[in-house]
Amino acid sequence: MRVGIIGTGLMGGPMTLKLQASGYQVTAYNRTPEKLKSLAEAGVAIATSALEVLQSSDCTLLMLTNGEAIAEVILNPTTRPGLADHTMIQMGTIAPTETKTLAQQVRDCGGNYLEAPVLGSIPEVKKGTLLVMVGASEADFEQWCPLLQTFGPKPLHLGPVGSAATVKLAMNQLIASLTTAFALSLHLIQQEGIDVEAFMQLVRQSALYAPTFDKKLQRMLDHQYSNPNFPVKHLLKDTRLFLQAANDLGLEGSMLEGIAKVLEKSGDRGHFDDDYSALFEGIALRSREG
C-alpha cells in the first residue's frame, strides 16, 4: 500500500519511519522542508506539495499542528482536486467541531475522512504501542484498521467522526491536570524543606499515585526539560481546545483556566518548546532567575 503523510514534526517524523519499516511505500510532505531531511536520508520519498502526496498515495495521514493548518494545507484550491476518491486519516489533536467540519469538507470534494488520534509519544511510536482512538464508520474502521495497527496493536473504534477527537481531548486534559497538581504539591514539599523521596514513598503507596508522577519527577527536580516528547505549547493548545469544548457544553472549566495560565507562564519563561513537565516552572510566582 502507498501511504502519504503530511506533517513530519515531533510525532509525524517517527511515524513516517515506522510506516516505512513496516513495509509501506511512504511519501512525506512538510511545510518546513528542513524537517524532511532526515527522512530523505532514510530513503523516504519526499513530495514538494500536499497535492503530490495525494496523487502518489492510496491514503494520507495528517499530523499537523491544528485544524487551521489542516484546512490551509488540504482545502486550498490547489490541493482540493486531489481529495476526490482519496482517504484522509486525521491523527493529530483537534476539536470535535473542527474534525466534523473537515470531514464534511473532504466529503464534499469527493473524498473519505476518518480520525485516529493517538495517546503516547515517540518511544511508543517506535515500539508500535500507541493507543489509537478511531472515529469512523464501521466499514472505514474495518478497512483501515490494519494500517492503524502499525502504530498500536488494538485501535479502538469509539464511534463516528468526532468521538475520537472528544476522547483525545479528555485524555490530554488529564495530562494537564494531573501533572499540574503534582507539580504544585512538589513545590510545596520543596519549599517547606520536606524530603522529596519520603513524600514520593507515601504517594506511591496511595490510591492517588499516577505513573506520570515518576516519569516527570526527575525533570522537575533537575529543571531539565529538553528533548520533549510533548512540548508545553502543544499541551497549552489542547487545554484551550478542551476549555472551548467544555464551555460549548455548559461545563464548569474554571479549574482548567488556572492550568492554562500555568502553561502560559511556563512558556513566557522560555519553555514553550520544552517538555510539558516544564509547567513546573510556571507554578512559582517568581521565576528561579528572579
Write out the DSSP string of 205-238.
HSTT--HHHHHHHHHHHHT---S-SSBHHHHHHH
Q: How many CB atoms lie within 10 A of CB 209?
A: 14
> For residue 31, what are the contacts with CB-CB under 8 A and spacing of at least 6?
73
Question: CB–CB of 14/160 below 8 Å?
Answer: no
Asked if 168 is an active-site residue, the reply is: yes
Given 18, 168, 216, 233, the catalytic residue: 168
Question: CB–CB of 255/215 below 8 Å?
Answer: no
Phi-psi region of 135 (alpha: psi -120 to 50; beta: other; left: phi over 0): beta
Residues known to be catalytic: 168
